[in-house]
């Protein structure tokens, strides 16, 4: 059994949308998300350019290294028109030291907000996948890229790395791929840094960070994501006060760990 490595700074439970909104099955090929459906989703405004991210506790955001002055918007569904949204400036950006912009390897970054946020029905953290996690079920990706101003969601299956590498030739164990063989559903420009999540029981766990692809939603070219489970040691090493939840992707283990957790 994987160990619960770190805990949240608040009694809020990660990976559980308080409003429990219905998830759509259809970003490219997706559909508009309901307000509060993905309360860990973050929009990054990088000098007018768009990226995504995920809230992992009340002051830290996980995103992609290739996305980088940043203002972050939390609790947002419709850009510039969400009454539950709050914004924060960023006081610290940490790009993975081994990020390679040519191969996209280690395409992860952490952002520390200048002040913490209060968790609400529309703002809450996601759980992170533990090292060694497998993702046999489907995954869901959210973002505002190449889509209307309303947050979009799309469900895509995981593609094994061997198959994915036959398309890209640069896939490493630090990456995870997801998409349809026939194409039509994918993350796209503007979604970079956003979370790829999978549901186990009633808990949502982040499996990936939107990284790159060949255009958007093309046949035989799935989206490629940084594999979150490979970065728990790096995340933990950055700040001794950084507190978050890492959970295995197994419903029984998730439920037992959450019920036993003494949240900090």
Q: Residue 83 corresponds to which tokens in the numbers above?
A: 């009454």
Comparing CA positions, the residue from 139, 166, 164 lying closest to residue 153 is: 139
Angstrom distance (rounded) from CA 175 to CA 171: 6
Q: Where are the beta strands (DSSP E) in the chain?
A: 31-32, 41-46, 49-55, 60-63, 70-74, 86-95, 109-113, 127-129, 138-143, 152-159, 175-178, 195-200, 203-212, 223-227, 246-247
The distance of Cα 239 from the centroid of its chain, to the nearest Å, equals: 20
Angstrom distance (rounded) from CA 108 to CA 231: 9
The distance of Cα 160 from the centroid of its chain, to the nearest Å, equals: 19
Angstrom distance (rounded) from CA 23 to CA 44: 23
Q: 128-228: which CATH architecture?
A: Beta Barrel (2.40)
Angstrom distance (rounded) from CA 95 to CA 107: 8
- Among 2, 10, 63, 66, the one annotated catalytic: 66
- Among 155, 192, 211, 229, the one annotated catalytic: 192
* Domain layout of the chain by residue ranges: 40-125+230-241, 128-228
The 10 Å Cβ neighbour count of residue 146 is 17
Average pLDDT for runs of 10 along the chain of length 264: 33 72 47 86 84 91 86 90 92 93 94 93 92 85 75 88 95 94 67 88 91 81 93 82 62 41 31
Beta-ladder partners of 154: 141
Angstrom distance (rounded) from CA 196 to CA 194: 7
**What pLDDT sits at residue 142?**
84
**What pLDDT sits at residue 241?**
61
Q: Residue 88 corresponds to which tokens in the numbers above?
A: 């924060």
8 Å CB contact between 257 and 4: yes
* 262 flagged as catalytic: no
* 104 flagged as catalytic: no
**What pLDDT sits at residue 34?**
86
- For domain 40-125+230-241, the question of CATH label 2.40.10.10 is answered with yes
Instruction: Give the predicted TM-score (pTM) of the model.
Output: 0.80
- Among 107, 187, 229, 250, the one annotated catalytic: 107
Are both 40-125+230-241 and 128-228 of the same fold? yes
Q: 90 vs 46, 87, 189, 226, CA distance in Å?
A: 11, 10, 22, 22
Angstrom distance (rounded) from CA 117 to CA 111: 13
* 82 flagged as catalytic: no
């Amino acid at each position: 059994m994987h160990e619960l490595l770190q805990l949240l700074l608040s009694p809020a439970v990660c990976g559980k949308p308080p409003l429990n909104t219905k998830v759509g099955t259809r970003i490219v090929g997706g559909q508009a998300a309901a307000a509060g459906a993905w309360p860990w989703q973050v929009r990054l405004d990088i000098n007018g350019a768009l990226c995504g991210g995920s809230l992992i506790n009340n002051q830290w955001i996980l995103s992609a290294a290739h996305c980088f002055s940043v203002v972050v918007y939390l609790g947002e569904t419709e850009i510039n028109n969400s009454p539950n949204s709050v914004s924060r400036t960023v006081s610290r950006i940490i790009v993975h030291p081994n990020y390679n912009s040519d191969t996209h390897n280690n395409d992860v970054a952490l952002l520390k907000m200048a002040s913490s946020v209060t968790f609400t029905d529309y703002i809450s953290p996601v759980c992170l996948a533990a090292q060694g996690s497998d993702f046999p079920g489907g995954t869901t990706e959210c973002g505002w890229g190449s889509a209307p101003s309303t947050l979009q969601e799309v469900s895509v299956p995981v593609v094994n790395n061997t198959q994915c590498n036959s398309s890209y030739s640069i896939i490493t164990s630090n990456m995870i791929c997801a998409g349809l063989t026939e194409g039509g559903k994918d993350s796209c420009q503007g979604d970079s840094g956003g979370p790829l999540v999978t549901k186990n029981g009633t808990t949502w766990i982040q499996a990936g960070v939107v990284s790159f692809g060949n255009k958007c939603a093309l046949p035989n070219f799935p989206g490629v994501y940084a594999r979150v489970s490979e970065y728990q040691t790096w995340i933990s090493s950055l700040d001794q006060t950084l507190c978050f939840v890492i959970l295995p992707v197994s419903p029984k283990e998730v439920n037992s760990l959450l019920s036993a957790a003494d949240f900090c």
